[in-house]
Amino acid sequence: MNSERRESIKTTAPKHPGTKDHSIQQQLARSGEIPTHIAIIMDGNGRWAKKRGLPRIAGHSEGVESVRDTVEACGQLGVKYLTLYAFSTENWKRPQEEVSMLMRLLMRALRDETDKLHRNNVRVHTIGETSSLPREVQDELCDAIERTKSNTGLNLLLALSYSGRWDITRAVRAMALDVRSGVLQPDAIDERRISEYLSTANVPDPDLLIRTSGEFRISNFLLWQLAYSEIVISDSFWPEFRRDELYRAITAFQQRERRFGMVSEQLKQGKTKRTVLSRLLKSVSGT
């Protein structure tokens, strides 16, 4: 996210889901923490199409439906950030025809969906080397980013021409230049500072990484940022992935114990201290 897209980001109430869906969402909110940031490796479009004797692009096209449903459900659940791995640096090596069709699909999806994203209070961002995308795609992206820049709901980060190593390389280069010009002191380089040089500056690290199609790989996605993310692998191909699968992934996330290198007992103690403290604060403030 560039600097003008790094302003403080608030989240407000979501749109209106159907009654049954609404009650599932309420249940999820009651059963545990809703991840602040979900990152998704959308995999299996080609295999989904092949299984049906369809061209690969049909899988990508159906994948857009999954994007639509997932984005909507995340907004309704109050997820604050959703990062989608839509096109990796390595994807440029695919046959030229598939790359062109993917670009056209992306352009059409942005053109068709930006109004709805805006109505649903979604703010669009990109991470990746977007300058290498075709001009028309860049234009649609700029338009979507510009039109949604005041929205306060879900932040949708589209990873385009993105890879984790590209992100880290770019950050290291920028830091080296800043050290050379005296803006950055080598002693001041710590984990927080490195995060600030990445394309996800000011975005909290993903709590949950979902990968579809049953593969167990990170595939050069958010390499630095995924350090403590919980990983949920779905056996569904991406075009089959809809909100019910998202809810299952969040439920699995809620059942995990995130220890961040500590032991279980420390977490329980921390939780007790926080509960006592918040009770104390409530009694003092009278709320």
Indicate the residue among 63 and 153 with the shorter CB distance to ligand FPP. 63
Shortest Å distance, C-beta 66 to ligand FPP: 7
Locate 235 and state its tokens: 């056996």
Residue 202 annotated in active site:
no
Shortest Å distance, C-beta 125 to ligand FPP: 12
Indicate the residue among 109 and 231 with the shorter CB distance to ligand FPP. 109
Shortest Å distance, C-beta 261 to ligand FPP: 32
Site for ligand FPP contains 123 (CB under 6 A): no
Residue 2 annotated in active site:
no
Query: Could you tell me whether strands 208-211 and 37-41 are parallel, antiparallel, or unpaired per DSSP bridges?
Result: parallel
Angle formed by the axes of helices 135-147 and 96-119, nearest 10°: 20
Write the binding mask 144 to 183 for ligand FPP: x where contact by CB under 6 A, - elsewhere.
--------------x-------------------------
Task: Please count the residues of this chain forming the interface with ligand FPP, following the rule CB under 6 A.
Answer: 18
The residues, ordered by sequence, that sit 6+ positions from 76 with a Cβ below 8 Å of its Cβ are 14, 15, 16, 17, 21, 22, 25
The residues, ordered by sequence, that sit 6+ positions from 44 with a Cβ below 8 Å of its Cβ are 59, 212, 213, 214, 236, 237, 238, 239
Indicate the residue among 45 and 151 with the shorter CB distance to ligand FPP. 45
The residue from 2, 21, 45, 91 that is catalytic is 91
Shortest Å distance, C-beta 242 to ligand FPP: 13
Site for ligand FPP in 212-271 (CB under 6 A): 238
3-class DSSP state for residue 182? Answer: coil
Site for ligand FPP in 6-65 (CB under 6 A): 42-47, 60, 63-64
Whole-angstrom Cα distance, residue 74 to residue 14? Answer: 9
Locate 207 and state its tokens: 């709590």
Site for ligand FPP in 63-92 (CB under 6 A): 63-64, 67, 84, 86, 91
Chain-centre distance for alpha carbon 242 = 16
Whole-angstrom Cα distance, residue 267 to residue 28? Answer: 22
Q: What angle do CA 250, 45, 155 make, to 5 degrees?
A: 45
Indicate the residue among 64 and 74 with the shorter CB distance to ligand FPP. 64
Residue type, 183: V
Which residues have a catalytic role annotated? 43, 91
Q: Which residues lie near ligand FPP (CB under 6 A)? A: 42-47, 60, 63-64, 67, 84, 86, 91, 105-106, 109, 158, 238
